[in-house]
Amino acid sequence: ASPRVVVIGGGYAGATAAKYLRMWSAGRIEVVVIEPKPSFISCPLSNLVLGGSKTLADLTFGYDGLQQHGIQLVQDTVTAIDPLARKLQLTRGELPYDKLVIAPGVDFIYDSLPVLDNAEAQQQVPHAWKAGPQTVLLQQQLAAMPDGGVFVMSVPKAPYRCPPGPYERVCQVASYFSQHKPKAKIIVLDANPEITSKKALFAKVWAELYAGMIDYRPNSQLTEVDVAAREVKTEFETVSADVLNIIPPQRAGKVAQLVGAANVDKRWCEVDFLSYASKVVPDTYIIGDSVSAALPKSAHMATSQARVCASAILATLAGQEPDPQPVFANTCYSFVNARMAMHVAHVYRYDLDKKIMLPAEGGGVSVQPSEQEGQYAYAWAQNIWSDVLT
Ligand code: FAD
């Protein structure tokens, strides 16, 4: 019988790995993807839903392209893994595998803010950090906010999914306010000591495009939240909001925690960067946002890792060694309004001594945002969707 690879999660990482496993094995490997959601919703570009230039429907895609590769899609959730018996528990039964790929994205940590750890609180105070109904909810709250109201966003300590994402969100909300609620204000409570990505560029955009609207407060870790009053406390102050968006701290998706794969600070998964094999769980590979903090957590990175992993699994199944020196790239665009974007890009190479992927010297960052880069950013999105899903 052909070997069976089961992929947990049909997001950026999992869908890409599944596609390349089927394509590069010319259909000789059985590939099963377990994903609870009926369709793929892109986090990249989801901040533009808040800005008003995209709808969630623009970012939602079917999985039929993957099925055309002969991938079996099972709409279910993995609830337990038995790595020694090589068997998964789904809500609807068991599934055996030869190799397992875990790609569940991130899980939120509510240890320090337990009041937010329920669906009702998240209706009042959305995170909108997994694109879907939460994105629409935040957009509706912004639309219902009075002109002159205050939008407060809290950024967790790094590492978290999409380093520039919170700051892109600030730009998008500011773009929406400038058009519809010019007296509104934005307060950014950042748990980090400074903007964690494209710092100079974001600071310049906020000062020039959105002068006087954005109040950025570093070292502002939340200590308390009053959900009903939409009020938060930090070590230094109490801040009230009309719309409150708390992006919680993050760790590897829950299923990685269940099987003990998240061995770094009980948060992230340590892998061999030549194959993405877990350092602790046999026959198991981990890709995407769940991988240790050594690599930035982006969709582009997730797909790059997925290809290296797929190639390594096929080599291993054929009794060969994986590519000893993988190279890949990562580009992250941020839209500053509906049309203009800016980027940061790096090539990553495997470092033989340190045994990790390191950014090569000379990575690029935009001089300033532009409409041309906005067009590149839309093309980037079209390309990655086509790569992942067709
Ligand atoms: P995901 O894409 O989240 O996929 C994980 C999947 O696993 C989900 O579909 C989930 O349902 C499934 N799953 C979880 N648990 C289970 C289980 N137990 N059983 C079965 N299935 C399960 N990146 C960029 O490169 N460029 C950008 O411009 C960009 N913008 C962003 C903007 C925002 C607002 C956000 C929040 C993120 C952005 N990102 C961007 C980051 C990007 O979305 C993530 O890095 C990427 O989605 C990671 O891919 P993943 O496959 O690890 O996780």
Helix %, strand %, coil % for the chain, to 5? 30, 30, 40
Q: Give the Å distance between the CA of 304 and the centre of ligand 1.
A: 14
Cα(5) to centroid(ligand 1), Å: 20
289 lines ligand 1 (CB under 6 A): yes
Q: Is the CB of 165 under 6 A from ligand 1?
A: yes
Contacting residues for 169 by C-beta, under 8 A, at least 6 apart: 47, 50, 153, 245
Which three-class secondary structure state does DSSP give residue 221? coil
Burial class (CB in 10 A: 0-12, 13-18, 19+), 264: middle
C-alpha span between 388 and 380 (Å, rounded): 12
Cα separations in angstroms, 106 against 9, 267, 276, 363 = 11, 10, 17, 26
For 42-94, the pLDDT digits (tens) are: 999 999 999 999 999 999 999 999 999 999 999 999 999 999 999 999 999 99
pLDDT tens for the chain, residues 1 to 390: 899 999 999 999 999 999 999 999 999 999 999 999 999 999 999 999 999 999 999 999 999 999 999 999 999 999 999 999 999 999 999 999 999 999 999 999 999 999 999 999 999 999 999 999 999 999 999 999 999 999 999 999 999 999 999 999 999 999 999 999 999 999 999 999 999 888 999 999 999 999 999 999 999 999 999 999 999 999 999 999 999 999 999 999 999 999 999 998 889 999 999 999 999 999 999 999 999 977 999 999 999 999 999 999 999 999 999 999 999 999 999 999 999 999 999 999 999 999 999 998 877 899 999 999 999 999 999 999 999 999
Check pocket membership of 13 for ligand 1, CB cut-off 6 A: yes
User: Does the beta carbon of 198 sit less than 6 angstroms from any atom of ligand 1?
Assistant: no
Whose alpha carbon is nearest atom 4 of ligand 1?
11
- The answer to whether the Cα torsion of 274, 328, 287, 314 is positive or negative is negative
Taking the alpha carbons at both ends of the chain, their separation in whole angstroms is 27
Q: Is 244 close to ligand 1, i.e. is its CB under 6 Å away?
A: no
| Separation of alpha carbons 330 and 299, rounded Å | 9
Model pLDDT, residue 210 = 98
Task: Determine the distance separating the centroid of ligand 1 and the alpha carbon of 318, expressed in angstroms.
Answer: 30
Q: To test ligand 1's pocket by mutation, which of 6, 8, 43, 66 has the most ligand atoms within 8 angstroms of CB?
A: 43
CA of 373 to the centre of ligand 1 (A): 23
Phi-psi region of 110 (alpha: psi -120 to 50; beta: other; left: phi over 0): alpha
Kindly state the DSSP code that residue 65 receives in the 8-state scheme.
H
Angle ∠(101,106,111) on CA atoms, nearest 5: 135
Backbone CA torsion sign across 14, 19, 20, 26: positive
Half-sphere exposure of 71 (CA within 13 A, CB side): 33
Largest Cα–Cα distance in the chain? 66
Question: How many whole angstroms from 161 Cα to the centroid of ligand 1?
Answer: 8
Which neighbouring-strand residues pair with 226?
231
| The ligand 1 atom nearest the CA atom of 105 | 53
Class of residue 282 by CB neighbours under 10 A (exposed 0-12, middle 13-18, buried 19+) = exposed
| Residue 295 Cβ contacting ligand 1 at under 6 Å | no
Closest atom of ligand 1 to CA, residue 290: 52
Specify the amino acid at residue 220: S
Closest ligand 1 atom to residue 13 Cα is 51
Q: Smallest Cα–Cα separation from 9: which of 70, 85, 88? A: 88
* pLDDT tens sequence across 323-354: 999 999 999 999 999 999 999 999 999 999 99
CA of 299 to the centre of ligand 1 (A): 7
How far, in Å, is the centroid of ligand 1 from the Cα of 50?
18
Six token digits for residue 238: 């109490």
How far is 289 from 161, CA to CA, in rounded Å?
A: 7
- CB neighbourhood size of 147 (10 A): 10
